[in-house]
Structure 1
Amino acid sequence: MSDDCAHRKVGRYCPDCGKDLQPQPIDRRTVMSELVENWWERGVLHTLIGLFRQPGVLIRRYIESDRDILVKAVPYIAVALALNYGLRARFLPGSTTTELSIIETLQQEPLVIPLLSALISALVLHFIFYRDASAGLFGTMVMRLYILAQATLLVVVVDLAMQLFLTDRSIGRNLTRLAFGLGFTIFAVRQYYTGEGRGGWIRAIAAILCGELALILFVYMPAAMIEQAGLLD
């Protein structure tokens, strides 16, 4: 098949390049078949399982040598966040609500807060804790996107499991969600930098906690101050 072909209409297929000139209409079956072909058959299961078992190792291989071992980062996190949003809307209504209307507004676009979190964390990792790392800033951002996607999926599974036993959203339940999310993130970051001799637990813990603190300082606290001052009324 050639992009330069004029595609002569002689029957369904072009006699020169073989392109299908009468593709099937886009319906539910078409969408599902394309999803299976482009995701399931091209490594989404390997990505999903692999990033839970060896997140740092696989992400480093993806960045440094093999771009075929994982589903691309942006589509993967988009699907992970959409799945998280859909499951929470269906089974955990109100689980993402806050007392800040600005944050509530941002959460109407499910990508905004997670992407801000990944960006701020990547800046902290690259410029403070792992300076001169081989991946560079953009590689660090890709790494954080993958880890964020996996942490999001892990936390929603944990939350759904706790929903079976705990009916109210207690402090203990929220702390459990936080512990699973941060714990996996620290584990993945520590493993990712092990190949450079920087895989210590203390540095990984400090880096992730500082990233979360930076998110609070630069996103949530300004939102609270704007809310309190009534600047948007």
Structure 2
Amino acid sequence: MARSDPIPAPETLHPSLWLASQLARSASRCVDTGHAALSAQLPGGGWPLGSLNELLLAQSGIGEMRLLQPALARMKRPVVLVQPPQIPQTLAMSALGMPPSQLIWVRSNPRGSDGLWAAEQILRSGSCGAVLLWYQHARGENLRRLHLAAQSGETLFCMMRPLSEARDASPAPLRLTLEPAPGGLQLGFLKRRGPQRDEPLFLPLSPSSLHRRHAPLDRPASAPASAGSVLSELVGG
């Protein structure tokens, strides 16, 4: 009986193929999350660049910035915050290791689409190290446009959406749910390129060194830019 040739590993045929029992190899660059337990659960071992990453929050301000802080602190190019739910504060950003001079705050009408438009244009420009977008209800076509825009460069793009949006379909290859837990966050792996993980991951997060009582004495990290004016500086339009 003739011996059959061994079945080749899926990734040798194409980088987007993987076994259902293994994490995919990331076809794009990644940036270390700074959290070893989390990185071990992500294809490529970190936050993928040039892709839409969705963080679905039980509520804003539960630790999403501390979760992203190690990756953001590595950025050499500007970090853009598009319509964050709270005003970015100088002391708070410095306590997270992010110089306020490197941050750009874009404020737009949360009920309109200016924020989506601004994020898309900034992503296509490839001018920033990271873009963080907070948005309540985005249609599938908006998510697809943002994912395509992110793929045109190597920007870390994270979109914060309500946990209630988890049941809606999304083109994002990585979707994590974030819920508060004593001492950190409970992360659920709603979607990733790899085996399904039903058990949530508890991620301990150190409290910010900025005490709450200092917040009223703090000042905004920068004056907010409008969705249109920020592009003249970044994109050169």
Q: Which has the higher contact order (CA 8 A, sep 6+)?
A: 2
**Into which bin does the TM-score normalised by the smaller protein fall?**
under 0.3
Select the structure that is richer in helix: 1
Q: Which has the higher strand share?
A: 2
Q: Under a length normalisation based on structure 1, what TM-score does the superposition of the two structures give?
A: 0.27
Normalising by structure 2, what TM-score?
Answer: 0.27
Please identify the structure whose Cα radius of gyration is greater. Answer: 1
